[in-house]
Amino acid sequence: MVLEASRRAFLGAAAASIATSGALATSASARADDGPISHDALLAIARKPARHRQLFAATRPNGNAFVYMRNSLNGYERGWGEPPGSLHAIAVFNGMGVVQGLDDDAWRRYRIADVLAAMGARLDPGLAVDRNPWLRPTSGLEDRSIEALQRRGCDFLVCDTALGTASLAFARAGRGEDDAIHAALRHALIPGAALVPSGVSAINALQEERFTLYDANV
């Protein structure tokens, strides 16, 4: 009886965590207009109640992080029978991986797929190139889209330093002036994402909060 009550309490906490995660991250994303979120805001995201905590470093624009996040969630829920919300998964986009955290308008405006191709980082055949190909469910990818992962309580952090580097790449491709592009990209994060000053410092801060690190670039 005590075990069942504890389980119900845990399920209630997990549901509340999932319900509030969008609000927390959306609030953080909205503050991107004024620059990256504070360390305290990052801790508020990191400290959502969850039994397990895992972060995924996503430096390359290949979408691998979303596959690994889905697999880890499924491992806990379907393999080990733990309830939804037991794993809090966070992806940190840095390097050119930051393009995974940009919205459809940014992908179209700066023709990001073309820039990636010119840099030798081609998208997998069949993925959309006129929008962020990982943002919304598409045929065969429903359970690993960003939106699907957000519904399962995942969070996404975007490195502002790397956004500056990406802006230089877009400027060299003739998309505009790098400073103006950087300012625009700060307003072009995927819904619910949070801008952090540096991806590597965010990774360290999350590890200090007992998040284990998985390199999603392999």
> 70-119 pLDDT, tens per residue?
999 999 999 999 999 999 999 999 999 999 999 999 999 999 999 999 99
Domain 2-215 maps to which CATH number in 3.40.50.10540, 3.40.1260.10, 3.40.50.300, 3.40.718.10? 3.40.1260.10
Contact 56, 92 (CB under 8 A): yes
| 2-30 helix and 39-46 helix, angle to the nearest 10 degrees | 150
Which residues have C-beta within 8 Å of that of residue 109, sequence separation ≥ 6? 175, 184
- The domain ranges of the chain are 2-215
- Rounded to two decimals, what is the model's pTM? 0.85
User: For residue 125, what are the CA distances in angstroms to 11, 59, 62, 64?
Assistant: 40, 20, 12, 15
Tell me, what's the pLDDT at 33? 56
Residue (of 43, 63, 77, 172) closest to 115 by Cα position: 172
pLDDT, tens digit, for every residue of 39-58? 999 999 999 999 999 999 99
Which token pair is 58?
């996503």
Give the residues across from 155 on adjacent strands. Answer: 90
pLDDT over 60 (residue 11): no
